[in-house]
Amino acid sequence: MASNEYVCFKGTVKLGVPFLKGYKGDPHYVIVSEDQNGREFRIVTNVKSDSSLTGPAGYLVLYAWNEQFQHPMTADLNKLALGVATSNFPTLDYVHDEGFVDLSSMRPISLDTTHEENDINALLNDMLELDMSVQGIDFVYPTLTYKDNRLGWKSKKEVTVYGFGFLFEPSKDGLHETHMNQGNPKPGKGSKIRDYSNENGVSQDGAVMMEVDGKFQALFVAFQTQLVPTDDRGWPIPGQSHPILQSDGTSSGAQ
């Protein structure tokens, strides 16, 4: 299980910052929001994988987008105060919570850092209701090792974001790992897959949800290297687990 803290953040969106050509660091979309005190909080969402077994297509993340997310948990989310919740919030489990997300519907999605057409950047731009008709606003994306000058856009409407993931350490001013956090295999010797098995756990999956005009949307992200089903620790089950996406491009399902 990941060593940092699994949380839910609820805030007001200030900027959407897509990952564009020439940006530094890992490919993440940044959702810039504010907590109850007006302090900046950043939710980062993976838009590309860092490991491939099948060439360029293997770097694409898997996604499921629910445009009309209707689930009993939304009532609990509405009750949350703005800011970081470390307890008493709905935890997410892609694999073990039936009816939460249909893993069989997941598909790979591209990343177009130049034109942002039909890709995950464009999807998030739409979810955040960004006004892309105007010039972008300068935004400095800070990390522990570098700062990157990027462009962000404001939302046309009031958007409430709910981010599920793990807090940045030690700053605690944002969260990452907003994706499935289980089913990571322990790579064998010589494997090209990076070892993320220490992140495996249950009821600790990430996601981003948007609430606009009282209606919810949800984006669920996983990686092609992750396996399902998982055991009660979030680990792949020897002899049973398989990739979410089959080699022929169809989803295998997880339940």
pLDDT value at residue 131:
96
Task: List the chain residues with pLDDT less than 50.
Answer: 248, 253-255
Short-list 224, 242, 222, CA closest to 59: 224
8 Å CB contact between 197 and 238: no
pLDDT value at residue 1:
55
Which 3 state secondary structure label does DSSP give 196?
Answer: coil
Structure tokens at 225: 């290297």
pLDDT value at residue 98:
86
Q: Is 46 exposed, middle or buried (0-12, 13-18, 19+ CB in 10 A)?
A: buried
pLDDT value at residue 140:
95
pLDDT value at residue 254:
40
pLDDT value at residue 112:
84
Q: What is the mean pLDDT of the chain?
A: 91
8 Å CB contact between 154 and 40: no
Find tokens 């793990």 and name the residue.
166
pLDDT value at residue 255:
34
Q: Are strands 207-212 and 160-167 parallel, antiparallel or unpaired?
A: antiparallel
pTM of the entire predicted model: 0.93
